[in-house]
Amino acid sequence: MTLTFQPVRVVTGSDEEGLLVFDGELRLAAVLTYLSEQYDGISGHWYLEAGFGRLDRPGHPTFADLEEAQRWINQHLAKEV
């Protein structure tokens, strides 16, 4: 599925740089936030701030880069319930 990303600022207190992620039908599927320097091993990673539908699940993962985030999102959007 082709995902579309749209930059957005997120009010999280510290990490503001984020992306809205839309699915192939341009429905909002997730919000990703870029982790700033305050996180020991995972600064610079992308964090699943919020997921909707099949992406609404406990345990918000972090991704080393956007490609990894995209793979994970596609995988879970495609998953049969």
Contacting residues toward other proteins, per CB under 8 A: 12-15, 35, 38-39, 42, 47, 58-60, 62
Which residue has tokens 């997730």? 30
Q: How far is the CB of 59 from other proteins (least distance, A)?
A: 6
Kindly tell me which of 24 and 52 has the beta carbon lying closer to other proteins: 52
- Specify the amino acid at residue 41: G
Q: Which is nearer to other proteins, 26 or 78 (CB)?
A: 78
What is the chain's percent helix, strand, coil content, to nearest 5? 20, 35, 45
What is the spatial distance between Cα 69 and Cα 59, in angstroms, rounded to a whole number? 14
Shortest separation between residue 26's beta carbon and other proteins, angstroms? 27
